[in-house]
Amino acid sequence: MKRALITGITGQDGSYLAEHLLSQDYEVYGLVRYNDRARVAAMRHLLKDVRLIDGDLLEGASLLSALNQAEPDEVYNLAEISYVPTSWEHAELSGEITGLGVLRLLEAIRTHSDLTGSRSPGPGQIRFYQASSSEIFGHAEETPQNEHTALQPCTPYGAAKAYGHYLVQTYRESYGMYAVSGIEFNHESPRSSPRFLARKVSQGAARIKLGHQKQLRLGRLSGSRDWGFAGDYVRAMHMMLAQDEPRDFVLGTGVTHTVQQLVELAFRTVGLDWHGHVVCDTSVIRTAEADNLRADPSKAAEELGWRARTSFADLVTMMVEADLALAHAGDDSPV
C-alpha cells in the first residue's frame, strides 16, 4: 500500500485528491496546522479515512517530523494562500507560505531522504508534486500558455508561485529529486470558497432564487477564465507522479469563458434572468490582474493521456445545484 502526504488537506483540492488516492488504495496522511481545528472539524466528513498530522509550512522542523511520521511515497503540496486579493493585503505572509513554504518542504524531503546531489531520481525516493498556477504567467506574451511560456507574474501570489515553480526545477536538477510542478489553471467545484468568482456566482444565483439575497455585485463581466472541475485536476496530479521521469505539465481545459457567460448559465440554471439581479461594481475590479490566460494542455494529453472531462456547462450546473441544496438546508451564509 502506497502512502501519500497532502498539505492543504482541508482545501478543495486536498479533499478531492484524498478521495481519489483512497480509491486507489493509498494510505493518506494530511498535514494540518495546529490552529486549524475548526476547519478540520468542518471537513471531517470528507476526511474520515485520512490520518491527520500536525505541521506548518512556516516551520521546517514540523515538516520533517511529519515526513518521519508518515514515511510517504508521495508528497503533494497544495497548501497556499490562494485568494489573490489576500496576497496583496498580506504580501509577506503570502511569500512565506506560498513561496518559502515550498523551499521548507523540499528541504525537509531532501534531509529526510539524505539526498546529496545524484542528479537523477533514485528508486524508493519520495515523489513531490507542487501545485503551481497559471498566475505565474501574469501578463503573458503569448496565448495559449504552455510549459515553455515565459513567467511574468503580476501579483504577490503569482510571484510566490513562480518562486516555488523555479525551486522545484532547481531541486530536481541539483539533487536528482523527483519533483514536478503542475501549472494549474482555474478549477472550481461545490467545495470552492465563495470568495472565488465562480462559487460567488453559483452561490449568489442560488440565494437570489430562494429570496435569501437580492443582488450579486461583480466587477468586469468581460473578463475570461479557463475554468475546469477540481476533481479532474487531482487525477492529473496523481498521474504526474506515476511517470518514469519527472516532468512539469500545464493543466487546463484550453477553453475560456467570460464572466458574463458564467453568470448567464448560473442564473439560467435557477430559471432567472441575470440582468435584474447582477450589479457591476467598479470597486470589485482588481487593479493588477493576469489576463489572456488560456491553457495549452496538449503535452498533458499526449504524454499523460489526461484531459479535463467535465464541461463548463456541467461544472456550473453542478455548483449551482449544490448551492441550492445547501441553501434549502439552511447552510447558505456567504463565507
**Residues recognised as catalytic:** 133, 135, 157
Q: Which helix (H) or strand (E) holds 163?
A: helix 156-175
Q: CA 77, CA 39: separation in Å to the nearest integer?
A: 18
Q: CA 147, CA 299: separation in Å to the nearest integer?
A: 8
DSSP lists the bridge partners of residue 5 as: 29, 75
Q: Is 276 helix (H, G, I), strand (E, B) or coil?
A: helix
Question: Is residue 192 within 8 Å of 198, Cβ to Cβ?
Answer: yes
Q: CA 233, CA 77: separation in Å to the nearest integer?
A: 14
DSSP state of 92: H
Give the number of other CB atoms < 10 A from CB of residue 68.
Answer: 11
Give the number of other CB atoms < 10 A from CB of residue 39.
Answer: 14
Q: CA 175, CA 178: separation in Å to the nearest integer?
A: 9
Q: CA 92, CA 79: separation in Å to the nearest integer?
A: 16
Question: Is residue 148 within 8 Å of 140, Cβ to Cβ?
Answer: no
